[in-house]
Protein backbone atom coordinates (compact mmCIF):
# COMPACT_ATOMS: atom_id res chain seq x y z
CA UNK A 1 0.00 0.00 0.00
CA UNK A 2 1.42 3.42 -0.82
CA UNK A 3 1.43 6.38 1.56
CA UNK A 4 -1.57 8.24 0.11
CA UNK A 5 -3.67 5.03 0.30
CA UNK A 6 -2.56 4.45 3.83
CA UNK A 7 -3.35 8.02 4.81
CA UNK A 8 -6.80 7.85 3.18
CA UNK A 9 -7.63 4.60 4.93
CA UNK A 10 -6.60 5.93 8.31
CA UNK A 11 -8.97 8.82 7.90
CA UNK A 12 -12.71 8.36 8.21
CA UNK A 13 -14.82 9.09 5.15
CA UNK A 14 -15.77 12.59 6.30
CA UNK A 15 -13.03 14.75 7.71
CA UNK A 16 -14.08 16.89 10.65
CA UNK A 17 -13.47 17.66 14.27
CA UNK A 18 -11.43 15.35 16.38
CA UNK A 19 -14.55 14.47 18.33
CA UNK A 20 -15.81 12.31 15.42
CA UNK A 21 -16.64 8.77 16.42
CA UNK A 22 -13.61 6.69 15.51
CA UNK A 23 -14.45 4.05 12.96
CA UNK A 24 -12.12 1.26 12.00
CA UNK A 25 -8.99 2.42 10.21
CA UNK A 26 -6.13 0.29 9.01
CA UNK A 27 -4.98 -0.03 12.56
CA UNK A 28 -6.38 -2.73 14.76
CA UNK A 29 -7.80 -1.99 18.14
CA UNK A 30 -11.05 -1.32 19.85
CA UNK A 31 -11.16 2.21 18.43
CA UNK A 32 -8.77 4.61 16.80
CA UNK A 33 -7.92 7.33 19.28
CA UNK A 34 -8.04 11.06 18.75
CA UNK A 35 -4.67 12.70 19.21
CA UNK A 36 -3.27 16.12 20.00
CA UNK A 37 0.25 16.64 18.66
CA UNK A 38 2.33 19.21 20.51
CA UNK A 39 5.55 20.75 19.13
CA UNK A 40 7.49 23.68 20.54
CA UNK A 41 8.70 25.31 17.35
CA UNK A 42 7.34 26.85 14.19
CA UNK A 43 10.63 26.18 12.37
CA UNK A 44 11.19 23.22 10.03
CA UNK A 45 13.76 21.00 11.76
CA UNK A 46 14.06 17.23 11.44
CA UNK A 47 11.51 16.59 14.21
CA UNK A 48 8.97 18.76 12.42
CA UNK A 49 9.59 17.01 9.09
CA UNK A 50 8.94 13.75 10.93
CA UNK A 51 5.68 15.02 12.42
CA UNK A 52 4.34 16.46 9.16
CA UNK A 53 3.25 13.22 7.42
CA UNK A 54 2.08 11.72 10.71
CA UNK A 55 -0.15 14.69 11.51
CA UNK A 56 -1.39 14.54 7.93
CA UNK A 57 -2.23 10.86 8.33
CA UNK A 58 -4.25 11.78 11.41
CA UNK A 59 -6.00 14.94 10.20
CA UNK A 60 -9.45 13.51 10.75
CA UNK A 61 -8.88 12.73 14.39
CA UNK A 62 -5.92 14.84 15.31
CA UNK A 63 -4.83 18.44 15.64
CA UNK A 64 -1.51 20.15 16.21
CA UNK A 65 -0.62 22.73 18.82
CA UNK A 66 2.58 24.72 18.24
CA UNK A 67 4.21 26.76 20.97
CA UNK A 68 5.64 29.23 18.44
CA UNK A 69 4.46 30.39 15.06
CA UNK A 70 6.53 29.90 11.91
CA UNK A 71 6.71 28.16 8.54
CA UNK A 72 5.80 24.81 10.12
CA UNK A 73 2.24 26.07 10.69
CA UNK A 74 1.79 26.89 7.00
CA UNK A 75 3.25 23.53 5.96
CA UNK A 76 0.85 21.67 8.25
CA UNK A 77 -2.11 23.69 7.02
CA UNK A 78 -1.14 23.02 3.39
CA UNK A 79 -1.41 19.34 4.30
CA UNK A 80 -4.91 19.82 5.70
CA UNK A 81 -3.91 19.74 9.35
CA UNK A 82 -5.75 21.93 11.87
CA UNK A 83 -3.16 23.95 13.80
CA UNK A 84 -3.42 26.17 16.84
CA UNK A 85 -0.53 28.33 18.01
CA UNK A 86 -0.25 28.86 21.77
CA UNK A 87 2.73 31.12 21.88
CA UNK A 88 4.00 32.98 24.89
CA UNK A 89 7.11 34.95 23.93
CA UNK A 90 8.49 34.80 27.46
CA UNK A 91 8.31 31.00 27.47
CA UNK A 92 9.25 30.45 23.81
CA UNK A 93 12.39 32.52 24.13
CA UNK A 94 13.62 30.76 27.23
CA UNK A 95 17.05 29.40 26.56
CA UNK A 96 19.49 27.67 28.86
CA UNK A 97 21.01 30.91 30.08
CA UNK A 98 17.69 32.61 30.61
CA UNK A 99 16.37 29.67 32.62
CA UNK A 100 19.30 30.02 34.97
CA UNK A 101 18.99 33.78 35.40
CA UNK A 102 15.34 34.34 35.07
CA UNK A 103 13.38 31.24 35.95
CA UNK A 104 11.23 32.87 38.60
CA UNK A 105 9.93 35.60 36.32
CA UNK A 106 9.09 32.97 33.68
CA UNK A 107 7.06 30.81 36.09
CA UNK A 108 3.67 32.51 35.58
CA UNK A 109 4.03 32.21 31.79
CA UNK A 110 5.03 28.55 32.08
CA UNK A 111 2.03 27.79 34.30
CA UNK A 112 -0.27 29.58 31.87
CA UNK A 113 1.07 27.51 29.02
CA UNK A 114 0.76 24.24 30.94
CA UNK A 115 -2.89 25.08 31.67
CA UNK A 116 -3.59 26.09 28.07
CA UNK A 117 -2.03 22.88 26.73
CA UNK A 118 -3.96 20.79 29.24
CA UNK A 119 -7.22 22.47 28.17
CA UNK A 120 -6.51 21.47 24.57
CA UNK A 121 -5.33 17.98 25.49
CA UNK A 122 -8.56 17.21 27.36
CA UNK A 123 -10.44 17.22 24.03
CA UNK A 124 -8.39 14.24 22.79
CA UNK A 125 -7.61 10.68 23.84
CA UNK A 126 -3.83 10.99 23.64
CA UNK A 127 -1.24 13.77 23.95
CA UNK A 128 1.66 13.19 21.55
CA UNK A 129 4.64 15.42 22.39
CA UNK A 130 7.18 15.85 19.61
CA UNK A 131 9.92 17.97 21.18
CA UNK A 132 11.50 18.29 24.56
CA UNK A 133 9.91 21.51 25.78
CA UNK A 134 6.58 20.15 24.56
CA UNK A 135 7.21 17.01 26.58
CA UNK A 136 8.01 18.94 29.75
CA UNK A 137 4.97 21.23 29.50
CA UNK A 138 2.65 18.42 28.40
CA UNK A 139 3.83 16.03 31.11
CA UNK A 140 3.67 18.65 33.87
CA UNK A 141 0.05 19.28 32.94
CA UNK A 142 -0.93 15.61 33.19
CA UNK A 143 -2.76 16.04 36.52
CA UNK A 144 -4.97 18.57 34.68
CA UNK A 145 -5.57 16.70 31.40
CA UNK A 146 -5.19 13.10 32.60
CA UNK A 147 -4.40 11.82 29.11
CA UNK A 148 -1.70 9.31 28.22
CA UNK A 149 1.45 11.11 27.06
CA UNK A 150 3.52 9.70 24.18
CA UNK A 151 6.89 11.32 23.67
CA UNK A 152 8.55 11.03 20.26
CA UNK A 153 12.20 11.43 21.19
CA UNK A 154 14.36 13.06 18.51
CA UNK A 155 17.39 13.94 20.65
CA UNK A 156 20.41 12.31 22.17
CA UNK A 157 19.93 13.39 25.75
CA UNK A 158 23.43 14.31 26.89
CA UNK A 159 25.42 17.21 28.26
CA UNK A 160 26.66 18.03 24.73
CA UNK A 161 23.41 19.86 24.01
CA UNK A 162 21.45 20.11 27.25
CA UNK A 163 21.87 21.70 30.66
CA UNK A 164 22.12 19.74 33.90
CA UNK A 165 18.75 20.96 35.21
CA UNK A 166 17.07 20.24 31.89
CA UNK A 167 18.39 16.67 31.90
CA UNK A 168 17.22 16.18 35.48
CA UNK A 169 13.71 17.38 34.67
CA UNK A 170 13.58 15.19 31.56
CA UNK A 171 14.85 12.19 33.51
CA UNK A 172 12.10 12.39 36.15
CA UNK A 173 9.27 13.17 33.76
CA UNK A 174 10.34 10.40 31.37
CA UNK A 175 10.54 7.95 34.22
CA UNK A 176 7.38 8.81 36.17
CA UNK A 177 4.97 10.78 34.00
CA UNK A 178 5.38 10.00 30.29
CA UNK A 179 3.42 6.85 29.43
CA UNK A 180 5.34 5.82 26.33
CA UNK A 181 8.57 7.01 24.78
CA UNK A 182 9.18 6.23 21.12
CA UNK A 183 12.70 7.00 19.84
CA UNK A 184 13.81 7.92 16.33
CA UNK A 185 16.94 5.75 16.62
CA UNK A 186 18.65 3.25 18.89
CA UNK A 187 21.21 5.96 19.67
CA UNK A 188 18.47 8.25 21.03
CA UNK A 189 16.80 5.38 22.91
CA UNK A 190 20.02 4.25 24.53
CA UNK A 191 20.98 7.75 25.67
CA UNK A 192 17.60 8.22 27.36
CA UNK A 193 17.76 4.74 28.82
CA UNK A 194 21.14 5.56 30.38
CA UNK A 195 19.89 8.93 31.67
CA UNK A 196 16.53 7.89 33.09
CA UNK A 197 17.21 4.27 33.95
CA UNK A 198 14.39 3.11 31.66
CA UNK A 199 15.27 -0.29 30.14
CA UNK A 200 16.09 0.26 26.46
CA UNK A 201 13.66 -2.50 25.43
CA UNK A 202 10.81 -0.37 26.81
CA UNK A 203 11.65 2.38 24.32
CA UNK A 204 10.57 1.23 20.87
CA UNK A 205 12.60 2.63 18.00
CA UNK A 206 10.59 3.87 15.03
CA UNK A 207 12.93 5.44 12.49
CA UNK A 208 11.60 8.26 10.34
CA UNK A 209 10.04 7.30 7.06
CA UNK A 210 10.84 9.41 4.04
CA UNK A 211 8.78 9.70 0.89
CA UNK A 212 10.92 8.03 -1.77
CA UNK A 213 8.45 9.02 -4.50
CA UNK A 214 9.49 12.68 -4.17
CA UNK A 215 12.98 11.67 -5.30
CA UNK A 216 11.70 9.71 -8.31
CA UNK A 217 10.05 12.85 -9.64
CA UNK A 218 13.35 14.65 -10.32
CA UNK A 219 15.11 13.71 -13.56
CA UNK A 220 18.87 13.75 -13.14
CA UNK A 221 20.01 10.40 -14.47
CA UNK A 222 21.54 11.51 -17.74
CA UNK A 223 24.30 14.11 -18.09
CA UNK A 224 21.86 16.41 -19.94
CA UNK A 225 19.22 16.16 -17.23
CA UNK A 226 21.77 16.87 -14.56
CA UNK A 227 23.16 19.86 -16.45
CA UNK A 228 19.63 21.26 -16.89
CA UNK A 229 18.92 20.73 -13.20
CA UNK A 230 22.11 22.54 -12.21
CA UNK A 231 21.28 25.42 -14.52
CA UNK A 232 17.83 25.70 -12.97
CA UNK A 233 19.35 25.81 -9.49
CA UNK A 234 22.06 28.27 -10.48
CA UNK A 235 24.89 25.81 -9.87
CA UNK A 236 28.00 25.31 -12.02
CA UNK A 237 27.31 22.69 -14.68
CA UNK A 238 30.73 21.13 -14.99
CA UNK A 239 32.21 21.25 -11.50
CA UNK A 240 32.38 18.32 -9.11
CA UNK A 241 29.72 19.25 -6.51
CA UNK A 242 29.74 18.16 -2.88
CA UNK A 243 26.49 19.01 -1.06
CA UNK A 244 25.99 19.46 2.66
CA UNK A 245 22.38 19.70 3.79
CA UNK A 246 20.95 20.83 7.09
CA UNK A 247 20.59 23.83 9.31
CA UNK A 248 23.68 25.93 9.84
CA UNK A 249 24.82 25.17 13.39
CA UNK A 250 28.27 24.56 14.88
CA UNK A 251 27.60 20.89 15.68
CA UNK A 252 26.47 20.19 12.11
CA UNK A 253 30.09 20.88 11.16
CA UNK A 254 29.79 23.05 8.07
CA UNK A 255 33.17 24.53 9.09
CA UNK A 256 34.69 21.05 8.78
CA UNK A 257 33.41 20.77 5.21
CA UNK A 258 34.97 24.16 4.39
CA UNK A 259 38.31 22.97 5.75
CA UNK A 260 38.07 19.87 3.57
CA UNK A 261 37.16 22.01 0.56
CA UNK A 262 40.37 24.01 0.99
CA UNK A 263 42.27 20.77 0.38
CA UNK A 264 40.28 19.79 -2.72
CA UNK A 265 41.23 22.42 -5.32
CA UNK A 266 38.64 21.76 -8.04
CA UNK A 267 35.66 20.73 -5.93
CA UNK A 268 32.68 23.02 -5.22
CA UNK A 269 30.73 22.89 -1.95
CA UNK A 270 27.00 23.61 -1.81
CA UNK A 271 25.67 24.44 1.65
CA UNK A 272 21.89 24.04 1.76
CA UNK A 273 20.21 25.16 4.97
CA UNK A 274 19.82 28.18 7.22
CA UNK A 275 20.42 28.96 10.87
CA UNK A 276 17.04 27.96 12.32
CA UNK A 277 17.56 28.43 16.01
CA UNK A 278 19.54 31.66 16.29
CA UNK A 279 22.93 30.46 15.02
CA UNK A 280 23.41 33.58 12.87
CA UNK A 281 26.89 34.29 14.21
CA UNK A 282 27.99 30.82 13.08
CA UNK A 283 26.49 31.39 9.62
CA UNK A 284 28.36 34.71 9.32
CA UNK A 285 31.51 32.98 10.57
CA UNK A 286 31.26 30.42 7.75
CA UNK A 287 31.39 33.16 5.10
CA UNK A 288 34.38 34.68 6.84
CA UNK A 289 36.07 31.29 7.06
CA UNK A 290 35.49 30.72 3.33
CA UNK A 291 37.19 34.05 2.60
CA UNK A 292 40.12 33.28 4.86
CA UNK A 293 40.56 29.87 3.23
CA UNK A 294 40.39 31.46 -0.24
CA UNK A 295 37.50 29.22 -1.33
CA UNK A 296 34.68 31.79 -1.63
CA UNK A 297 34.37 31.19 -5.39
CA UNK A 298 33.80 27.49 -4.77
CA UNK A 299 31.22 27.72 -1.97
CA UNK A 300 27.52 28.16 -2.72
CA UNK A 301 25.34 29.24 0.17
CA UNK A 302 21.88 28.18 -0.97
CA UNK A 303 19.91 29.04 2.19
CA UNK A 304 16.88 27.01 3.27
CA UNK A 305 15.34 25.08 0.38
CA UNK A 306 12.07 23.23 0.09
CA UNK A 307 13.03 21.07 -2.87
CA UNK A 308 15.63 18.81 -1.31
CA UNK A 309 15.31 16.00 -3.89
CA UNK A 310 16.31 18.40 -6.69
CA UNK A 311 19.22 19.90 -4.75
CA UNK A 312 20.48 16.50 -3.69
CA UNK A 313 20.22 15.00 -7.17
CA UNK A 314 22.25 17.91 -8.57
CA UNK A 315 25.25 16.77 -6.46
CA UNK A 316 28.06 14.33 -7.17
CA UNK A 317 28.48 13.43 -3.52
CA UNK A 318 26.56 14.18 -0.34
CA UNK A 319 28.43 15.00 2.83
CA UNK A 320 27.36 14.75 6.44
CA UNK A 321 29.86 16.35 8.80
CA UNK A 322 28.23 16.56 12.25
CA UNK A 323 30.81 16.65 15.00
CA UNK A 324 28.42 15.42 17.70
CA UNK A 325 26.43 12.20 17.44
CA UNK A 326 23.41 12.76 15.24
CA UNK A 327 20.15 11.48 16.77
CA UNK A 328 19.13 10.15 13.36
CA UNK A 329 20.24 12.20 10.36
CA UNK A 330 17.35 12.44 7.92
CA UNK A 331 19.63 14.16 5.42
CA UNK A 332 21.77 11.03 5.21
CA UNK A 333 18.74 8.90 4.35
CA UNK A 334 17.58 11.50 1.83
CA UNK A 335 21.01 11.55 0.19
CA UNK A 336 20.75 7.79 -0.26
CA UNK A 337 17.24 8.10 -1.70
CA UNK A 338 18.60 10.70 -4.13
CA UNK A 339 20.92 8.02 -5.50
CA UNK A 340 24.12 9.85 -4.64
CA UNK A 341 27.07 8.43 -2.70
CA UNK A 342 27.04 9.59 0.91
CA UNK A 343 30.04 10.31 3.12
CA UNK A 344 28.81 10.56 6.70
CA UNK A 345 30.22 11.07 10.19
CA UNK A 346 30.36 7.78 12.08
CA UNK A 347 28.41 8.46 15.28
CA UNK A 348 24.92 8.22 16.75
CA UNK A 349 21.98 7.32 14.53
CA UNK A 350 24.08 7.52 11.36
CA UNK A 351 25.57 4.15 12.31
CA UNK A 352 22.06 2.72 11.98
CA UNK A 353 21.83 4.02 8.41
CA UNK A 354 25.27 3.75 6.80
CA UNK A 355 27.52 0.72 6.66
CA UNK A 356 30.97 1.78 5.56
CA UNK A 357 31.86 0.51 2.09
CA UNK A 358 28.44 -1.12 1.64
CA UNK A 359 25.95 1.71 1.13
CA UNK A 360 28.13 4.77 1.77
CA UNK A 361 31.38 5.81 3.39
CA UNK A 362 31.97 6.71 7.04
CA UNK A 363 34.55 9.10 8.43
CA UNK A 364 35.29 9.97 12.03
CA UNK A 365 33.46 13.11 13.24
CA UNK A 366 35.63 16.17 12.66
CA UNK A 367 38.18 14.27 10.55
CA UNK A 368 38.90 16.74 7.72
CA UNK A 369 41.49 14.54 6.02
CA UNK A 370 39.13 11.58 6.20
CA UNK A 371 36.57 13.55 4.19
CA UNK A 372 39.22 14.66 1.67
CA UNK A 373 40.39 11.05 1.22
CA UNK A 374 36.84 9.76 0.86
CA UNK A 375 35.98 12.34 -1.83
CA UNK A 376 39.25 11.58 -3.66
CA UNK A 377 38.48 7.86 -3.52
CA UNK A 378 35.00 8.34 -5.01
CA UNK A 379 36.35 10.56 -7.79
CA UNK A 380 39.02 8.03 -8.61
CA UNK A 381 36.55 5.15 -8.74
CA UNK A 382 33.23 6.32 -10.22
CA UNK A 383 32.17 2.67 -10.46
CA UNK A 384 32.49 2.34 -6.67
CA UNK A 385 30.63 5.63 -6.20
CA UNK A 386 27.79 4.29 -8.36
CA UNK A 387 27.68 0.96 -6.49
CA UNK A 388 27.54 2.66 -3.09
CA UNK A 389 24.83 5.01 -4.28
CA UNK A 390 22.73 2.19 -5.74
CA UNK A 391 23.00 0.15 -2.55
CA UNK A 392 22.23 3.25 -0.49
CA UNK A 393 18.97 3.77 -2.35
CA UNK A 394 17.97 0.12 -1.90
CA UNK A 395 18.73 0.17 1.83
CA UNK A 396 17.07 3.52 2.48
CA UNK A 397 13.88 2.45 0.68
CA UNK A 398 13.79 -0.76 2.70
CA UNK A 399 14.66 0.64 6.15
CA UNK A 400 13.05 4.09 6.06
CA UNK A 401 9.81 3.66 4.20
CA UNK A 402 7.09 6.21 4.85
CA UNK A 403 4.41 3.50 4.90
CA UNK A 404 6.14 1.49 7.64
CA UNK A 405 6.79 4.62 9.68
CA UNK A 406 3.18 5.81 9.53
CA UNK A 407 1.81 2.39 10.27
CA UNK A 408 4.09 1.83 13.27
CA UNK A 409 3.55 5.32 14.69
CA UNK A 410 -0.21 5.19 14.44
CA UNK A 411 -0.20 1.73 16.04
CA UNK A 412 1.90 3.14 18.90
CA UNK A 413 -0.66 5.93 19.33
CA UNK A 414 -3.52 3.40 19.33
CA UNK A 415 -1.76 1.24 21.93
CA UNK A 416 -1.28 4.18 24.27
CA UNK A 417 -4.99 4.35 25.11
CA UNK A 418 -5.52 0.67 25.79
N1 LIG B 1 15.92 20.51 5.24
C2 LIG B 1 15.19 21.18 4.26
N3 LIG B 1 15.72 22.29 3.68
C4 LIG B 1 16.94 22.79 4.04
C5 LIG B 1 17.68 22.11 5.03
C6 LIG B 1 17.14 20.98 5.62
O7 LIG B 1 14.08 20.75 3.89
O8 LIG B 1 17.34 23.78 3.46
C9 LIG B 1 15.36 19.29 5.85
C10 LIG B 1 16.10 18.03 5.44
O11 LIG B 1 15.63 17.61 4.18
C12 LIG B 1 15.77 17.08 6.59
C13 LIG B 1 15.58 18.00 7.76
O14 LIG B 1 15.50 19.33 7.26
O15 LIG B 1 14.57 16.37 6.32
C16 LIG B 1 16.74 17.94 8.75
O17 LIG B 1 16.66 16.76 9.46
P18 LIG B 1 17.96 16.08 10.12
O19 LIG B 1 17.50 14.83 10.82
O20 LIG B 1 19.01 15.87 9.09
O21 LIG B 1 18.51 17.17 11.13
P22 LIG B 1 17.84 17.92 12.40
O23 LIG B 1 17.26 19.20 11.90
O24 LIG B 1 16.78 17.01 12.96
O25 LIG B 1 18.99 18.12 13.33
Beta carbon of 304 within 6 Å of any ligand 1 atom? yes
Q: Please tell me the distance from the alpha carbon of residue 58 to that of residue 2, in angstroms, as a whole number.
A: 16
Q: What pTM was estimated for this model as a whole? A: 0.91
Question: Looking at residue 7, what is its pLDDT?
Answer: 37
Measured torsion, CA atoms of residues 135, 141, 143, 144, in degrees rounded to the nearest 10: -140
pLDDT tens, 370-386? 999 999 999 999 999 99
CB 283 within 8 A of CB 252: no
List, for residues 182-230, the tens digit of each pLDDT value. Answer: 999 999 999 999 999 999 999 999 999 999 999 999 989 899 999 999 9
pLDDT of 17 > 50? The answer is no
Strand, helix or coil at 312? helix
Q: What pLDDT, on a 0 to 100 scale, did the predictor assign at position 90?
A: 59
Query: Across 220-295, where does the E strand assignment appear?
Result: 240-245, 267-272
Answer whether 245 contacts ligand 1 (Cβ < 6 A). yes
pLDDT at position 1: 38
Instruction: Please state whether 178 falls in left (phi above 0), alpha (psi between -120 and 50) or beta.
Output: beta
Whether residue 82 has its Cβ less than 6 Å from ligand 1? no
Q: What would the pLDDT profile of 73-107 be if each residue is shown by its tens digit? A: 999 999 999 999 998 765 655 555 555 556 777 88
For the chain, give the mean pLDDT: 90
Ramachandran category for residue 50: left, alpha or beta (phi over 0 → left; psi -120 to 50 → alpha): alpha
From CA 369, how far away is CA 373, in angstroms rounded? 6
Q: How far is the CA of 37 from the centre of ligand 1 (A)?
A: 20
The atom of ligand 1 lying closest to the CA of 332 is: 20
Position with higher pLDDT, 87 vs 10: 87
Amino acid sequence: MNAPDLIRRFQPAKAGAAALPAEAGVYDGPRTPTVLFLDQTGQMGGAEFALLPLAEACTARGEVVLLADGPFRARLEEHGVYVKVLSDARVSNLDREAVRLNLLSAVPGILRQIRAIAREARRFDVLFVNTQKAMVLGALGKPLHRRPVIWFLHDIMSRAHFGRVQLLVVKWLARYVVDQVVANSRASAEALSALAGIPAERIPVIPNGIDAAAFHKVDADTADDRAALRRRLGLPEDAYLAGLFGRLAPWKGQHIALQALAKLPDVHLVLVGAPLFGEHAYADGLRLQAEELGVTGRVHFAGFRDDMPAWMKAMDVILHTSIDPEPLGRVVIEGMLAGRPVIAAAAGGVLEIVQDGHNGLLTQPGDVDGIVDAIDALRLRPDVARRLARQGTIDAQRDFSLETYLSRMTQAIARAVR
